[in-house]
Amino acid sequence: MYYSDSKVVLGYLSNERRRFYVYVCNRVSRIRKSSSLHQWNYVTTDENPADQGTRGLLPEQLGDSLWLKGPDFLKVNTSNFQNETFSLVNPDQDSEVRPKIVTLKTVSVSTKPTLGTSRFSRFGSWLSLVRAITFIKKCIRKKAGKVDEISRRETEMLIIKEVQQQYYQKELCALRAGKPLPKDSTILTLSPYLDDGLLRVGGRIKLSDLPEGEKTPILIPGKSHVARLLVHHHHEKIYHQGRHLTEGAIRSEGLWISGGKRLVSSIIHHCVTCCKMRGKPLCQKMADLPKVRLTRSAPFTFVGVDVFGPWSVITRRTRGGSAHSKRWAVLFTCLYSRAVHIEVIEEMTSSSFINALRKFVAVRGAVSEFRSDRGTNFVGAAAELQMNVVNVEDHNLKTFLADKRTVWRFNPPHASHFGGTWERMIGIARRILEAMLMDTKHGKLTHEVLTTFMAEVMAIMNSRPLVPVSTDVEAPFVLSPQILLTQKTHEVPSEFQDLDVKDMYRSQ
């Protein structure tokens, strides 16, 4: 005999109606295999010795405990005891008991068996649907003892009949009974008629010699899944051309899809291949301008630096001709006023760049912050001049460099778009210099000529308008970086030969 003080467990073991989840089900089935239900009985917690074994007793309590003596009801003859019946305790609230699910089944009996269109939506292409229906028909005919071949056209007509039966049932019933179509029919204007069980679009050219599909095409419901499969099929058949060609391919096959223009446009719009072939490129939304571009400051307080070139120049004359060497140019761009400053260097080394940097600072004044890419000459120059490099990782060096007033910030690696401000200026400088070199009568370029050209390029770039030129006669003034740097315009003041001192002061 087995005794338990848990009525929940006894209810699980005696259950014959409700189902449990996997954990309880496996353990109940294992207990039922090794014991019978009539062996299980209920015992109260006070009379259960196992309860004292699990909870524990003090040594002085052990001698007079149920653990050694057992409960009193065991001393009575248990053969006269009747086995109790147990039921589940609150089965609707027990998380281990599966809830009852009530299902209702409706059986629709049709007088004439049909194929049905409920499974058509599982197919992704027209050819796969036709192949599946053809295979089913072959199996049915083989079971009936028929061995004749099934044509693809026959299967396609069967599928279209099933779709028409689903969407145009009222119209089909009316035409079969010889009655006019209902006034609320969506295909009333198409003048449909029945031809061998198929709905075809009517018209006034039935007596012509045109093929049957062209003068009376088969009607396909535009809201059906079969219509989408047909549009996809013919769209791929003409290699993803536009709506006009797709509609023509469908109509040439003798099909009329209701609302076809809208359906074809929708499918082409969502076609992945068409999007790849004719999709418009997207424009990336530009980020916010950096703070140095918006901070009011004197010219060349925040500067972007880059090097461009090279150009071949004549350095000295030789008996056989002349010796050539290369020259580069360093472009300094003011990030606030958009003015530029160009210095010519002889080598792409840190020492040459430092000389150009010193000349720039001597002419334009002290700089608070430099920005550049991670060119080796820039990194070497920043280290040589002991500038505060923001990207430096060494803490002691960063603390030492923090005492300097100039900061050098490097762009992230392989991120040339971070320097778009000065990269754009380099493109303008190259075009101006190329035009100058084309206009030069002789092709011999010396260091002095190149330096002169760079000065003229710098002047032209600094004279460019910063804002669109106004068409207002009241605002003929054009703002340029040159005006911000020199406070001068291109106009030359006229001579005051015929004016005395008083008139000169009065004109001012």
Distance between CA atoms of 403 and 382, rounded to whole angstroms?
14
Q: Identify the bridge partners of residue 306 per DSSP, sorted by sequence position.
A: 331
Nearest CA to 199 out of 191, 207, 211 is that of: 191
Nearest CA to 359 out of 337, 326, 329 is that of: 329
Q: Is the pLDDT of residue 171 over 60?
A: yes
Tell me which DSSP letter residue 6 carries: -
Q: Is the pLDDT of residue 504 over 50?
A: no
H-type alpha helices, 297-411:
350-364, 376-384, 395-401
Q: pLDDT, tens digit, for every residue of 174-190? A: 999 989 898 889 999 99
In this structure, are residues 182 and 157 in contact, taking their beta carbons and an 8 Å threshold?
Answer: no
Long-range contacts, 183-187 (Cβ 8 Å, 24+): 186/258, 187/219, 187/258
Residue 478, SS3?
coil
pLDDT given at position 490: 60
Question: Where is pLDDT greater, at 456 or 65?
Answer: 456
Question: Where is pLDDT greater, at 373 or 147?
Answer: 373
pLDDT given at position 376: 67
Quickly state the pLDDT bin for 124 (edges 50, 70, 90).
Answer: very high
Q: Is the pLDDT of residue 394 over 50?
A: no
Q: pLDDT, tens digit, for every residue of 69-90? A: 888 888 876 655 556 778 777 7
pLDDT given at position 123: 93
Classify strands 369-372 and 302-318 as parallel, antiparallel or unpaired: parallel
Distance between CA atoms of 406 and 389, rounded to whole angstroms?
9
pLDDT given at position 156: 93
pLDDT given at position 292: 85
Q: What average pLDDT does this structure show over 5-26?
A: 83
Q: pLDDT, tens digit, for every residue of 347-356? A: 888 788 888 8
Residue 302, SS3?
strand
Cis peptide before 310 (omega within 30 of 0): yes
Question: Where is pLDDT greater, at 495 or 199?
Answer: 199
Q: pLDDT, tens digit, for every residue of 397-442? A: 344 334 446 788 888 877 777 888 888 999 999 999 988 888 766 5
pLDDT given at position 239: 94
pLDDT given at position 505: 47
Edge to edge, the sheet with strand 369-372 lists 340-345, 321-334, 302-318, 369-372, 407-410, 388-389
pLDDT given at position 232: 96
| Other residues' Cβ atoms within 10 Å of the Cβ of residue 508 | 5
Q: What average pLDDT does this structure show over 234-248?
A: 94
Helix (H) or strand (E) holding 333, with range, is: strand 321-334
Tokens of 508: 């001012």
**CATH, domain range 299-462:** 3.30.420.10
pLDDT given at position 506: 43
Question: Where is pLDDT greater, at 461 or 499?
Answer: 461
Tokens 């059986």 found at: 107
pLDDT given at position 401: 37
H-type alpha helices, 367-470:
376-384, 395-401, 420-439, 447-462
Distance between CA atoms of 199 and 172, rounded to whole angstroms?
8
Helix, strand, coil share (%) of the chain residues, nearest 5: 45, 15, 40
Phi-psi group of 372: left, alpha or beta (phi > 0 → left; psi -120 to 50 → alpha; rest → beta):
beta
In this structure, are residues 127 and 174 in contact, taking their beta carbons and an 8 Å threshold?
Answer: no
Q: What average pLDDT does this structure show over 256-277?
A: 93
Q: pLDDT, tens digit, for every residue of 330-376? A: 999 999 889 999 999 998 887 888 888 889 988 998 888 888 887 76
The alpha carbon of residue 391 and the mean position of all alpha carbons in its chain are separated, in whole angstroms, by 32
Least trusted range by pLDDT, from 277-291, 299-313, 398-412, 428-442: 398-412
Q: pLDDT, tens digit, for every residue of 28-48? A: 889 888 888 888 888 888 888
Mean pLDDT over each residue of the chain, to the nearest integer: 82
pLDDT given at position 443: 62
Quickly state the pLDDT bin for 99 (edges 50, 70, 90).
Answer: confident
Tell me which DSSP letter residue 287 carries: P
The domain limits of the chain are: 2-80, 124-278, 299-462
pLDDT given at position 392: 43
Give the start-end residues of each E strand in 225-339. Answer: 255-257, 302-318, 321-334
In this structure, are residues 362 and 333 in contact, taking their beta carbons and an 8 Å threshold?
Answer: no
Classify strands 321-334 and 302-318 as parallel, antiparallel or unpaired: antiparallel
The alpha carbon of residue 313 and the mean position of all alpha carbons in its chain are separated, in whole angstroms, by 51
Q: What percent of the chain has pLDDT over 70?
A: 85
